Structures are given as C-alpha cells and as structure tokens.
Structure 1
Amino acid sequence: MSRAVSAIEKKVPPPVLVGVLAVIIWVLPRATDPSSLLSPVGVALLVAGLGINAWPKELFRRVGTSVSPVQPELTSALIIHGPYRFTRNPMYLGYALALLGLSAWLAQPWGLLVVVFFVAYITRFQILPEERHLSSRFPTQYAVYCRAVRRWV
C-alpha cells in the first residue's frame, strides 16, 4: 500500500487540482442566490487567495529557483522571507482561500467540504513529499525554519 500511495504523490499539479475543484464548486447546487451578502466577501477572498498564491511565484522567479510542484528536486534555494515568514505554504494557502472565496461568492456551502478536501489532499500528496525533499536538501536550515513557521498558518 505504501508503494501505491507514493505513486500518486506529486502527480496531480496543484493548479490542475484547483481547477477541477473550482469546477466542482461551480456545478454543485447552491443553497441561496449568489447575490447574497457573501458575494463581496467571496470575491475579496478569491482575489486575496490568488494574490497570495502569486506572490511566492514572483519570489521564486527572482531567486532563480524552480516553482514546479511536481519536481521539488529542482529546488535550488530555500525561501524564508516574504509570505514564507507566516506560512510554509503560501501558494497552497492562497489556493485554499481562493476556493473558499469561490464557495462564498457562489453561496455554496458544499464548497467548504471541497476546501477541506483540498487541504487534506495537498498536505498528504504534495506538501509532505516537498517537506521530505527540503529536509534532505537543506537539513539544518529547513529544520530551524519548520520550528519557527507553521505549515499552514
């Protein structure tokens, strides 16, 4: 079983997963009219989430390290500034906020389950393998960083 689980680690690129989950949120039946009071909050969360997701990508580009979530072995630098001062996974946090925002914008309570699924899935199949790699690539620096900054928030 361990081998089968390892076979799916890092195989589904997070942007693809988020796209599929966003479609699921979109097609689920809505509880109320999307023009509810949650709509502006949802739009704000959606925009904030996408912004939080984009910021680290720009940092990766500036430092010249890989942003590929399916090839963590291409990582050449450990970034611990910017949003990484608050969360070890700002890109995934941004995606989770964007999905939460989409759910609120569409007044979609079932979308909360989709967000919970995303967090659980991305932690197990993306974040944990990335952490193993970073621990082996930057053993001392990453251990200190992990003690100082939480995985999510």
Structure 2
Amino acid sequence: MLWGRIYFGVQAAAGAAWWIAVAVSPFVREVTLGGLDPVAVAAADIPLFVVGSALAASGVRPAVWVATGWTLVVAIALAVYATVTTEAGWGALVMATAAVASVLALCLVLTGRVPTAWLIAGPFSFRPALPRRIAAAHLVSTGAQIVVFWGFFLVVVPLVITSLENRWSVTLPFPSFVPVVGAVVLVLASGLGLWSGVTMSVVGNGTPLPAAMANRLVIAGPYRFIRNPMAVAGFLQGAAVGLLLSSWLVVAYGVLGAVLWNHAIRPHEEADLEKRFGDDFRRYRDTVRCWVPAISR
C-alpha cells in the first residue's frame, strides 16, 4: 500500500512539473501536446491527474480510482491522436507508461499487492504434459509452440511497436553497426532457445509451454548451466530484434518482458516445480543460477 501511495505522490509532482514545462517551453508543449490547446487540456488534467494523484498519495481511496481512470483515458486519447496526426508522440508514450504504472499502484493501494496469479490462469496455468513414450510427439508440439510464440512476440509485436515508434516520431538514432550486432545475438539466442526446447521435449517428456510442462526435472543440455535458458533466450531475442530494427522501444520491450517474467511469472513457476519435484528442485535451484550461466558446471 505504501509504495502505491508513494507512486501517486511522484506522479502528482511529475504532472505538476510537466505542466510548468508546457507553460514555459514551446518545445515541450509541441512534443507532448502537438496541436492540442494546452489551456483546454489543463482545465481537466490538472484537477483529475495532478490533484487526483496528490489526493491518492494522501490516502483518499476514491482519488485513486479517479487518477487511474483519467490517466487511462488520456493515454488512449493521446495514442489515437498521435497515431492519426503524428503529433504529441512523446506525450502519448509518457502517458502510456503512466497508465500502466497507475494501474499497478492502484492494485498496491487497494489490495497491498499486484495480482500476478491471473497471468498463469486458464490456458497458461501450470500442468504437466500428457506422458508419451515417443519423444517426437513432444518435439512436434514444441516446434508448433516455437513457431506461434516466436512469430507473435518476435515478429508481429516488434513490427507494431516499430510502426508506432515511427508514426509517433519517437525514434532515436542508432550506430550503423547495431543491426549487425542484433542479427548475431538473434542467431545465438535462437540457437539457445531451440536447444532448450529440444532438451525439454526429449529429456523432460514435455514442452516449454506452462500448460504442457515437463514430467521430469530437466538438468541436462543448457539447463546444466542456467535454470531458465528458454526464457533467457526469448528476452535476448526480443532485445536483438530491437537492435536489428534500430528500435529502442523494441529493445525496451525485451527488457521489460524479462522484468515481468522474473517478478510475476518465475515465482509461480518455481513454486510449482518445488511442489512437484521437492528436494531435487531445491538442490538444483540452490546450485544453478537463474540468469547468469555457470560454465564450470
């Protein structure tokens, strides 16, 4: 609860500082509001966003809903405006970030935690795969998962992000050699991902998908050196695609994906593994690190 209120306090101060900057700097006004009338926007935004966030920080519960709801409305409106007009892109980006943070802060204020369990509900809940004698069946399933997930998260989503980045005019310059680096990292990370998937299918008698997890604890192949090579490969791939496209937002997408997985998904996954494999998993967890590979092992 405290951290949520602290966030709203920071948001209120940042909102007030931004409006002061809009009043004194034509550049800030142009890149964040475009052709919108600042007086008309301020008439609604200052009481609902700045004052609302300040009241939320002071512990007024209704203000938490008001500030969060208004932030979401402004974020959506600015995103549409920036996409249609190519103006106010930085304003849309900042408000989109504030909207996500406000929702998380709302959860903290109202419940004292962020409800991450819904991320592993339904088709993403942890369940062991149906045991099969023929590893080829799991290999086919793993291959299908890789095609679908890599196609969506490494092709569709980055292309949409890059399109918005260009449309909103929030691009940043990259050195000419960066795409080459991105291509090399992408190939290496993809190789790690394929190695991990094959090992999970053949040794673990399952797939990397949470809804069809391995039936045996896998401590072979890349899993000897790092606990979650498939996840590490995915985040490296995301960042590599960003470098390949010279898109800082796609790089940020890969980094934020790693943060989300580490803090929201991994605790649930490891709790499930500990429940199913007990001391074997605890020994493995204590021996092999999550993010940094131990080559000597």
Shorter chain as denominator, the TM-score bin is 0.7 to 0.9
**Could you tell me which residue of structure 2 aligns to residue 100 of structure 1?**
239
CA displacement at 1:147 relative to structure 2:
0.9
Q: Say if 1:50 and 1:75 are closer, same or farther in 2 by CA, change over 3 A.
A: same
**Could you tell me which residue of structure 2 aligns to residue 26 of structure 1?**
162
Q: Distance in 2 between matches of 1:52 and 1:25?
A: 25
Q: What are the residue-to-residue correspondences of 1:102-121 with 2, within 5 Å?
A: 102-121=241-260
**Could you tell me which residue of structure 2 aligns to residue 9 of structure 1?**
120
**Could you tell me which residue of structure 2 aligns to residue 44 of structure 1?**
184
Deviation string for 1:32-68 (max 9, x for gaps)?
A: 37x8111111101111111111111111221252214
TM-score normalised by length of structure 2: 0.45
**Could you tell me which residue of structure 2 aligns to residue 137 of structure 1?**
276
Give the conservation status (yes or no) of the 8 Å contact 1:21–1:114: no
Give the conservation status (yes or no) of the 8 Å contact 2:186–2:237: yes
The structure with the greater share of residues assigned to helix is: 2
Q: Say if 1:64 and 1:144 are closer, same or farther in 2 by CA, change over 3 A.
A: closer
State which drifts further: 20-29 or 103-112.
Answer: 20-29
Give the conservation status (yes or no) of the 8 Å contact 1:88–1:150: yes
CA displacement at 1:9 relative to structure 2:
2.3
CA displacement at 1:4 relative to structure 2:
4.3
Give the conservation status (yes or no) of the 8 Å contact 2:200–2:214: no
Q: Distance in 2 between matches of 1:142 and 1:116?
A: 27
Name the SS of the counterpart of 2:206 in structure 1: coil
Percent identical residues: 23
**Residue identity matched to 1:8:** L
Deviation string for 1:16-37 (max 9, x for gaps)?
A: 773454334433334237x811
**Could you tell me which residue of structure 2 aligns to residue 84 of structure 1?**
223
Larger RCO (alpha carbons 8 Å, 6+ apart): 1
Q: Distance in 2 between matches of 1:25 and 1:130?
A: 28
1:66 maps onto 2:206 in alignment: yes
**Structure 1: 5+ residue runs without aligned partners?**
none
State which drifts further: 141-150 or 107-116.
Answer: 107-116
Q: Distance in 2 between matches of 1:50 and 1:91?
A: 9
Deviation string for 1:50-106 (max 9, x for gaps)?
A: 11111111112212522142326x431111121112211101111111111111112
Give the conservation status (yes or no) of the 8 Å contact 1:42–1:101: yes
Q: Which of the two has higher C-alpha Rg?
A: 2
**Could you tell me which residue of structure 2 aligns to residue 128 of structure 1?**
267
**Could you tell me which residue of structure 1 aligns to residue 3 of structure 2?**
none
Name the SS of the counterpart of 1:77 in structure 2: coil
Q: Distance in 1 between matches of 2:262 and 2:276?
A: 19
Name the SS of the counterpart of 1:71 in structure 2: helix
Q: Distance in 1 between matches of 2:243 and 2:114?
A: 38
Give the conservation status (yes or no) of the 8 Å contact 1:48–1:97: no
Q: Distance in 2 between matches of 1:64 and 1:88?
A: 14
**Structure 2: 5+ residue runs without aligned partners?**
1-110, 126-144, 293-297
**Residue identity matched to 1:26:** T
TM-score normalised by length of structure 1: 0.82
CA displacement at 1:129 relative to structure 2:
1.7
Q: Say if 1:144 and 1:131 are closer, same or farther in 2 by CA, change over 3 A.
A: same
